[in-house]
Amino acid sequence: MHMHMVEDVVRGAGYLTLGTRLKRLGERLQAHTQCILDEHDLAIPASQYPFLLAIHQLGPLTVGEIAQAVGVTQPAATRTVAQLAEAGFVEVSQSSEDQRRKSIALAPRGKRLIDVGRRSVWPTIEGAVKDLCKGLSGPLLQQLEAIEEGLAERPLSQRTGKVRKRRR
């Protein structure tokens, strides 16, 4: 039984499948980011971090405002806020001006996650993604190909400039 390489039809279709390709690349970057978060013992899904960042930068927000700030649908924001509240990262309270509106603020546990992120993890992730993208130029599809190939060659966790021993 011989294994042969199956053509990547999404890559091959160029602009026709750009949305699928960007979504796929986003999911890969998020998975690589998750590895770095795990290495730093940060118990949060990578996809939820931007929600904490929004509240940190903009102060207490409603679910609708969080959805806008992060660029997701309101149902997606509602789900994520519920998960963050359950994990103890955010606190949900009635808005003082309008009792029908809920205000979402960082809980102490969420503040700690932001502090650790800002100090060590975010610069690490940002540096790794910069390393992945350095030297990119030319048409968009060529740049995407270079990013995809770069991730396949060396994952983000190997681009952080320091190799950490996993503690398990």
pLDDT band at 36 (very low <50, low <70, confident <90, very high): very high
pLDDT value for 59: 95
Q: How far apart are CA 73 and CA 77, in angstroms?
A: 6
pLDDT value for 124: 94
Tokens for 108? 């102490």
Question: Can you name the residues that pair with 140 across neighbouring β-strands?
Answer: none
User: In the chain, what are the domains?
Assistant: 14-158 (1.10.10.10)
DSSP state letter for 89: S
- The mean pLDDT of 18-33, rounded to a whole number, is 94
Angle at the Cα of 84 from the Cα atoms of 49 and 39, rounded to 5 degrees? 45
pLDDT value for 3: 73
* The length of the chain, given as a count of residues: 168
Tokens for 56? 């940190």
The Cα diameter of the chain in Å comes to 68
pLDDT band at 128 (very low <50, low <70, confident <90, very high): very high
95 in Cβ contact with 64 (< 8 Å): no
Selected residue with higher pLDDT from 19 and 99? 19
Torsion angle of C-alpha atoms 58, 156, 84, 93, degrees rounded to 10: -10
67 in Cβ contact with 74 (< 8 Å): yes
Tokens for 87? 């994990």
Q: What is the pLDDT of residues 40-84, one digit of tens each?
A: 988 899 999 999 999 999 999 999 999 999 999 999 999 999 999
